[in-house]
Amino acid sequence: MIQTLEWTEQGVRFLDQTKLPTQEIYLTCKTYEQVADAIRTMIVRGAPAIGVAAAMGIALGVRASKAETVGELKRDLDRICEVIGRTRPTAVNLFWAIQRMKEKFEGLQIRSLAHIQGELIGEAQRMHAEDIAANQAMGRHGAGLMPSSGGVLTHCNAGALATAGYGTALGVIRAAVAQGKKIHVYADETRPFLQGARLTAWELMKDGIPTTVISDNMAGAMMKQGKIAAIVVGADRIAANGDVANKIGTYSVAVLAQENHLPFYVAAPLSTVDLACPDGSQIPIEQRNPEEVSHIAGKQMVPDGVAVENPAFDVTPSKYVAAIITERGIARPPYAQSLRQFAGAEANLEV
């Protein structure tokens, strides 16, 4: 099984995703600042993985605190959360994880420093296990939506590498394949960071799931030629009305799916649903270094002095989304109601 990230006594161990697919290198972050850097530089990426990494980073920072009172530890916790919260703005799982760690701190009855530190480490590890369980549940719910045979297109990487394990969109595909469905995955390469070409293809190849990488601008032609039966992607933040922020290019895929009468599905845990955000226009979109676009493998592709944009995400309006697969079931339009119902339901997951 792919170990995207894990808690160890020495620190948080990550599979360095910037080195894939040619090198499988693990590194251990021993401080919360190093964890923040790992999130910022995309050593770890993907909304659920960012959330779990943030929780583990907070646990690491609190464990190393020199505080002598609970009040001092609380001040340290706030500072750690602020540093980690400044890494990447779009995936709401980051802020969900920070909030959950703060609430854990506040809710503790016995408040010796060692007790708090131990409990926060435990909470981060629980979030890791819960994320895998949520992905497996999404797989169980979503597998039925996948065709019994045919092509399934995905964009970016919403797999084991983007989560604590198993994946959201790729979890649904994995579960469908485990049921005997003959799925061939079409992976958009996902310019400019190439999560599809480097990461999705790598992890599906490891699982023996047939995969073809296409450049992003081929998706429409593949749909038109009848090679695609359905689309499934992940999400970084889902607004209360069902608008979906996901990797840049997702919106184009959704529009193309509608034009070609193909179902466009989103798979995401409820930690990705932001009920405080009314619609997609309110979702902050991360702008990354333009060099990720202007240069390919270190080689300049754009003339000096020409403007380059690099928004890391876009928003797909909910009208294009046929269903949102969550760990508590499949949400259908109108999402303002179905998402609220799922998010309010009692957790019922086995860890």
Residues found near ligand MRU in the complex (CB under 6 A): 45-48, 91, 156, 158, 162-163, 168, 195, 234-236, 246-247, 312
Distances (CA, A) of 187 to 142, 168, 212: 18, 15, 6
Q: Classify burial at 225, counting beta carbons within 10 Å of its beta carbon; exposed 0-12, middle 13-18, buried 19 or more.
A: exposed
To the nearest whole angstrom, how small is the minimum distance from the Cβ of residue 170 to ligand MRU? Answer: 8
Nearer to ligand MRU, 65 or 196 (CB): 196
> Do 322 and 264 form a contact (C-beta atoms < 8 A)?
yes
To the nearest whole angstrom, how small is the minimum distance from the Cβ of residue 195 to ligand MRU? Answer: 5
To the nearest whole angstrom, how small is the minimum distance from the Cβ of residue 10 to ligand MRU? Answer: 25
Biggest alpha carbon–alpha carbon distance for the chain = 66
254-262 long-range contacts, CB within 8 A, separation 24+ = 254/316, 254/320, 254/321, 255/320, 256/219, 256/220, 256/223, 257/223, 257/231, 257/320, 258/320, 259/220, 259/223, 260/220, 260/223, 260/224, 260/228, 262/223, 262/228, 262/229, 262/230, 262/231
To the nearest whole angstrom, how small is the minimum distance from the Cβ of residue 162 to ligand MRU? Answer: 3
What residue number has its CB nearest to ligand MRU? 234
Catalytic residues: 236
Residue 137's SS3 state is helix
